């Protein structure tokens, strides 16, 4: 079973979230819970997903002073999520504190959640980071520089667009995880995303995990959209081996 497709359960309505899970209930999924669902349903939702046997990426993108991030991570680690993240732009000390908090909060005998750094959001464009954030580097340079900082700070990988994966792997090594949102099936709307990519292109570029939200959740038929994604992602996987 291929669980390297992470489904973003971006619902602020529990019935809709449960409906999707119910339709996919034969599968052991890798799901992403972001701010939208976590801030409404809290730790209970994570506990339920874990009980159902799903893997969970808790996408809260922490970004605060090191002490606060460390303590927050200690609490979140007790939920036994599989993957969690921080904004890499919070810096080295913040990322160290995140890892220390996760180590301290991981229950005895369990694995610490993998921790990845958000580089530049996939909704950001080069023009936006230049004009609004005054970042002098171009998009690719900025993403690689934040990936390098994440790696040097001990993180397990990064969130980026699939388009930047080859450069990240070149700079940080093949084992450094790349988790890539901004995935769209051919013909889907990009919405607020800027640096988008199809699943098969993401696979070719070397992405380890793709994160897919609206291509599944906004589809008229989410189950067949998920199946389509799996076959696009899976077929190439076989060819590559
Ligand atoms: O609906 P869509 O497929 O665009 O959803 C992408 C998901 O990935 C959203 O939950 C969004 O918060 C998340 N994400 C992102 N870009 C990042 C990090 C996370 O789009 N850099």
pLDDT (tens digit per residue) in 184-217: 988 888 888 888 899 999 999 999 999 999 999 9
Per-residue exposure over 151-160, b if at least 16 CB sit within 10 Å of its own CB, e if not: bebebbbbbb
Q: Which two tokens stand for residue 222?
A: 């989410």
Nearest to 241 by CA among 2, 43, 26: 2
* Angular region, 61: left φ>0, alpha ψ -120 to 50, beta rest: left
Give me the pLDDT at residue 193, please: 85
Ligand 1 centroid to 31 CA: how many Å? 12
Atom of ligand 1 nearest to the CA of 119: 21
Whether ligand 1 lies within 6 angstroms of the CB of 122 is answered as yes
Task: Single out the catalytic residue among 50, 61, 228, 230.
Answer: 61
* Burial (CB count within 10 angstroms: exposed 0-12, middle 13-18, buried 19+), residue 13: exposed
Structure letter (DSSP) for residue 194: S
The CATH architecture one would assign to domain 5-233 is: Alpha-Beta Barrel (3.20)
Which ligand 1 atom minimizes the distance to the CA of 120?
21
Averaged pLDDT of the chain: 93
Local confidence band at 241 (pLDDT 50, 70, 90 cut-offs): very low
If one residue of 62, 86, 122, 160 were mutated to test the ligand 1 pocket, choosing by the most ligand atoms within 8 A of its CB, it would be: 122
138-147: average pLDDT = 97
Mean pLDDT of 141-163: 97
- Helix (H), strand (E) at residue 83: strand 83-87
Does the pLDDT at position 91 exceed 50?
Answer: yes
Tokens coding 198: 């199809």
* Pocket-testing residue among 85, 181, 184, ligand 1, by greatest number of atoms within 8 A of Cβ: 181
Residue 8 CB less than 6 A away from ligand 1: yes
Q: How far is the CA of 210 from the centre of ligand 1 (A)?
A: 10
Q: Is any ligand 1 atom within 6 A of the Cβ of residue 9? A: no
Question: How many whole angstroms from 42 Cα to the centroid of ligand 1?
Answer: 19
Q: How far is the CA of 54 from the centre of ligand 1 (A)?
A: 19
Q: What is the pLDDT of residues 67-82, one digit of tens each?
A: 999 999 999 999 999 9
Answer yes or no: 204 catalytic.
Answer: no
pLDDT of residue 87: 98
Q: Which residues face 34 on adjacent strands?
A: 59
For atom 5 of ligand 1, the residue with the nearest CA is 213
Of 182, 205, 143, which is closest to residue 6 (Cα–Cα)?
A: 182
Domain boundaries, the chain: 5-233
Q: Which residues of 193-229 are buried (b: 16+ CB within 10 A; e: fewer)?
A: bbbbbbbbebbbbbbbbbbbbbbbbebeebeebbebb
């Amino acid at each position: 079973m291929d669980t390297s497709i992470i489904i973003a359960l971006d619902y602020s309505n529990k019935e809709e979230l449960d409906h999707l899970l119910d339709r996919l209930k034969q599968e052991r999924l890798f799901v992403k819970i972001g701010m939208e669902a976590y801030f409404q349903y809290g730790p209970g939702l994570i506990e339920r997903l874990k009980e159902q046997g799903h893997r969970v990426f808790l996408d809260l993108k922490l970004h605060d002073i090191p002490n606060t991030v460390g303590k927050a991570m200690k609490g979140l680690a007790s939920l036994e999520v599989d993957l969690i993240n921080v904004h890499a732009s919070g810096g080295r000390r913040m990322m160290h504190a995140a890892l220390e908090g996760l180590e301290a909060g991981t229950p005895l005998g369990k694995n610490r959640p993998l921790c990845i750094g958000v580089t530049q959001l996939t909704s950001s464009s080069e023009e936006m980071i230049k004009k609004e954030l005054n970042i002098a580097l171009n998009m690719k340079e900025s993403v690689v520089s934040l990936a390098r900082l994440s790696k040097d700070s001990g993180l397990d990988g990064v969130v980026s667009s699939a388009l930047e994966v080859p450069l990240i792997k070149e700079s940080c090594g093949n084992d450094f995880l790349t988790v890539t949102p901004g995935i769209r099936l051919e013909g889907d709307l990009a919405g607020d995303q800027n640096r988008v990519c199809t699943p098969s292109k993401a696979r070719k570029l070397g992405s380890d995990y793709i994160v897919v939200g609206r291509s599944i959740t906004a589809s008229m038929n989410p189950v067949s959209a998920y199946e389509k994604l799996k076959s696009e992602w899976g077929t190439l996987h076989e060819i590559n081996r």
